[in-house]
């Protein structure tokens, strides 16, 4: 059921229409210097570029490297100049390059319809132009919005809601009652709505705490492969609009993530944490339960956060502290070997001084107690 909008070639690749430098410049509102008729087939890094590729250079150093590459054109800063290759001059080369890459990205075109092996539950409310792949299972009372694409092997549980134009890649699982907004993208292996990790000890027995809440995901959220978002104990685990979550992330029960947040690979967000709008949690960072990450704050890679982080703060390390303080601590720690050597030298000098003082005291006592010494009495 899943088709692409252009035919595949014999290598199994999806061809994309070439574009001239002039066309690319128009797409990014850039100015061309050099041959605007040069034909571009794709984008590449400076190191990997071949003839027909476009690369980008943000500054003079990268421009020098790009000039020596095999690339056929360069997206460059406004002051750039070179006689060797055509330039597309823009205010922000990196952003312009991203827009150009989008032009060369194969567009998914999903043919509407339901694969005959798909299993659809009772009382399903489905929108127009759905594409439901092989061996998909959709539970009872689910609602699927217009234009959704559900790849093979996905499971959408009872009472789930998908907004318009969502994409579920192969083997995504939505447990019962989960709610997705519009244009949500879930990559392969994502699990939404598994039970939160809630237990308590009664005597020597571990008792499971029922998890009766749901997961709600806002519009334009994208979640990477094999990430898990647990359902709430009560209420909802919530992910705000436009938030992006990487692969292999754990979002625990009752977490609240605001709009426009970023959570990077292998991060772990414990139960009832709150990430406020625009905050970021970098790779392998861990957040203790009930921690609040303030608006616009950044938790750097591998940080261990045990307390709230103020808005706009940047923290790092284990335990996490303000990053500038951590840098000062690291700088001081790097001097410790020198300090240790100096302390040893001072201890030795002090020991020598104590020894000399002892000898002097002994000599004075010997003089005082020698026969014929003056008796003060």
Catalytic center residues:
253
Q: Are 67 and 78 in contact (CB under 8 A)?
A: no
Q: List the structure tokens of 53.
A: 């590729």
Give whole-number Cα distances, 152 to 92, 117, 188, 226, in Å. Answer: 39, 10, 10, 16
By CB atoms closer than 10 A (0-12, 13-18, 19+), residue 238 is: buried
Return d(Cα 140, Cα 161) in angstroms, integer. Answer: 11
- 60 sits in which H/E element: helix 60-68
Length of the chain: 377
Return d(Cα 309, Cα 344) in angstroms, integer. Answer: 40
Q: Are 265 and 224 in contact (CB under 8 A)?
A: yes
Question: Torsions phi, psi of 350, nearest 5?
Answer: -65, -40
Rg (CA), the chain: 32
Residue 200's beta-bridge partner residues? 207
Pick from 80, 116, 112: nearest CA to 2: 112
Return d(Cα 286, Cα 273) in angstroms, integer. Answer: 11
Q: Is 177 helix (H, G, I), strand (E, B) or coil?
A: coil
- 336 sits in which H/E element: helix 336-369
By CB atoms closer than 10 A (0-12, 13-18, 19+), residue 231 is: buried
């Amino acid at each position: 059921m899943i088709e692409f909008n252009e035919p595949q070639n014999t290598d199994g690749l999806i061809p994309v229409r070439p574009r001239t430098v002039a066309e690319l410049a128009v797409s990014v509102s850039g100015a061309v210097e050099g041959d605007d008729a040069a034909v571009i087939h794709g984008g590449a890094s400076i190191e990997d570029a071949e003839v027909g590729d476009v690369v980008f250079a943000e500054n003079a150093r990268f421009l020098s490297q790009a000039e020596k590459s095999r690339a056929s054109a360069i997206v460059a800063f406004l002051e750039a100049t070179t006689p060797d290759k055509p330039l597309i001059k823009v205010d922000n080369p990196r952003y312009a390059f991203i827009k150009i890459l989008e032009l060369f990205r194969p567009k998914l075109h999903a043919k509407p319809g339901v694969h005959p092996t798909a299993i659809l539950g009772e009382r399903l409310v489905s929108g127009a132009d759905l594409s439901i792949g092989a061996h998909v299972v959709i539970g009872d009372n689910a609602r699927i919005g217009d234009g959704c694409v559900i790849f093979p092997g996905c499971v959408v549980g009872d009472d789930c809601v998908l907004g318009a134009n969502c994409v579920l890649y192969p083997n995504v699982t939505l447990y019962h009652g989960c709610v997705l907004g519009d244009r949500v993208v879930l990559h392969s292996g994502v699990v939404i709505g598994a039970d939160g990790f809630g237990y308590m000890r009664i005597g020597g027995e571990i008792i499971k705490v029922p998890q009766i809440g749901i997961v709600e995901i806002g519009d334009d959220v994208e979640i990477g492969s094999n990430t898990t978002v647990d359902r709430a104990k009560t209420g909802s685990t919530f992910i705000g609009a436009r938030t992006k979550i990487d692969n292999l992330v754990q979002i625990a029960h009752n977490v609240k993530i605001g709009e426009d947040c970023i959570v990077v690979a292998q991060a772990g967000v414990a139960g009832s944490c709150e990430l406020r709008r625009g905050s970021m949690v970098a790779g392998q960072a861990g957040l203790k339960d009930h921690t609040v990450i303030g608006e616009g704050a950044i938790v750097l890679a591998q940080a261990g956060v045990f307390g709230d982080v103020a808005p706009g703060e940047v923290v790092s390390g284990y335990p996490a502290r303000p990053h500038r303080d951590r840098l000062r601590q690291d700088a001081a720690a790097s001097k410790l070997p020198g300090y240790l050597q100096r302390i040893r030298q001072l201890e030795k000098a002090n020991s020598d001084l104590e020894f000399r003082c002892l000898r002097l005291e002994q000599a004075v006592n010997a003089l005082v107690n020698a026969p014929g010494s003056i008796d003060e009495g």
